[in-house]
């Protein structure tokens, strides 16, 4: 199925079946609170002395500093609602040892995904809530490739540049919080940079609780997998072979009773 086909499918009658509580949401309260906090802008990066990669790292530094100094507590479900409503888009996501982060900015004025691609959004949400794409395709009577296209379409619309199997953990938590699976909480703060105003959203890494059940090597590779890295990327980061990474992940999976990244995230979120 092409994207044109999927667009037609999304726009077909009765495609929405949306929760009425998600329609016409007021402006994201945590954004207003974070913006009105009165915190002065952080120093501007010296763009003339940094390449694109250096500027990205500097933005992350600013984000972590602002989060630590001015982050206000809020329910992560608000983040997902505002993303889907088209008021925010993702600029960057990254991890630190103890927290996961997302840099957000105002999205261009346009209808939210509930209006533009309701069926595709429903597929993405069901996957983020823990359903497997192949089982979902079978239930809906569509090809697995259609599910893959729907997932990619929604992620790109949100500003998330990754494969569907690598959706950042923070957005899994936000989607589940929005649907009442668990009251996941995070922090939000605003700051200014040479690229304009940003909001940094962060949450404590739930995968940290897996450390007590795994060896240090197993825990390290499991964390990298949760971060969305491939076996090859993990092997380069750890200076080991891909086979060693696979063996360590296999051992971790056996101890935790899981069989892949999705189930590993489910186990981490379940506690």
Q: Give all domains of the chain, ordered by start, each with its CATH number.
A: 1-204 (no CATH), 207-270 (1.10.10.10)
Which candidate, 13, 149, 178, places its Cα nearest to that of 84?
Answer: 178
Task: Divide the 271 residues of the chain into consecutive groups of 10 and give the mean pLDDT of each group.
Answer: 47 39 39 51 36 69 93 93 91 93 88 86 93 92 92 88 87 94 91 87 95 95 94 95 97 95 92 69
* pLDDT value, residue 6: 44
Angle of CA points 138, 143, 146, to nearest 5°: 120
* pLDDT value, residue 213: 94
* pLDDT value, residue 265: 93
In the chain, DSSP finds a helix count (H) and a strand count (E) of: 13, 5
* pLDDT value, residue 121: 92
Say how far apart CA 42 and CA 121 lie, in whole Å: 36
């Amino acid at each position: 199925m092409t994207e044109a086909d999927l667009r037609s499918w999304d726009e077909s009658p009765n495609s929405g079946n949306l929760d009425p509580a998600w329609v016409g949401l007021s402006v994201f309260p945590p954004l207003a609170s974070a913006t009105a906090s009165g915190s002065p802008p952080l120093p501007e990066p010296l763009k003339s002395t940094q390449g694109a990669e250096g500027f990205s790292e500097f933005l992350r530094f600013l984000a972590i500093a602002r989060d630590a100094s001015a982050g206000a507590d809020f329910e992560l479900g608000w983040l997902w609602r505002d993303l889907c409503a088209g008021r925010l888009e993702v600029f960057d996501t990254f991890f630190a040892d103890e927290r996961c982060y997302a840099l957000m900015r105002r999205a261009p004025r346009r209808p939210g995904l509930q209006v533009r691609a309701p069926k595709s959004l429903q597929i993405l949400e069901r996957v983020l809530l823990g359903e497997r794409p192949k089982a979902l395709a079978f239930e809906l009577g569509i090809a697995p490739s259609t599910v893959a296209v729907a997932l990619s379409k929604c992620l790109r619309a949100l500003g998330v540049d990754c494969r569907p199997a690598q959706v950042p953990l923070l957005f899994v938590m936000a989607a589940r919080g929005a649907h009442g699976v668990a009251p996941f909480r995070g922090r939000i703060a605003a700051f200014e940079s040479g690229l304009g105003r940003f909001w940094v959203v962060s949450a404590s890494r739930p995968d940290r609780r897996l450390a007590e059940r795994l060896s240090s090597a197993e825990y390290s590779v499991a964390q990298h997998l949760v971060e969305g890295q491939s076996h090859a990327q993990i092997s380069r980061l750890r200076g080991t072979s891909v086979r060693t990474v696979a063996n360590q992940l296999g051992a971790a999976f056996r101890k935790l009773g899981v069989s892949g990244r999705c189930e590993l995230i489910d186990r981490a979120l379940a506690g």
